[in-house]
Amino acid sequence: MTLYHVTWCPDCEVVRRKLADLHVEYEQVIVPDFRPMRKVVQEVSGQYYVPVLKDGDIVLTETDDILDYLDKTYSQERIAND
pLDDT for 31-55, tens place per residue? 999 999 999 999 999 999 999 999 9
Classified as helix, coil or strand, 55 is strand
In contact, 24 and 74? CB cutoff 8 Å = yes
Look up the pTM and report it. Answer: 0.90
* Percent of the chain residues topping a pLDDT of 90: 90
Q: What is the CATH number of the domain that holds 17?
A: 3.40.30.10
Domain extent at residue 8? 2-81
Asked if 39 and 52 touch (Cβ cutoff 8 Å), the reply is no
Task: List Cα–Cα distances, 23 to 26, 68, 81, in angstroms.
Answer: 10, 16, 12
Residue 59: the pLDDT is 98
CA distance 4 to 24: 15
> How many structural domains is the chain composed of?
1
Question: Is the per-residue pLDDT at 2 higher than 90?
Answer: yes
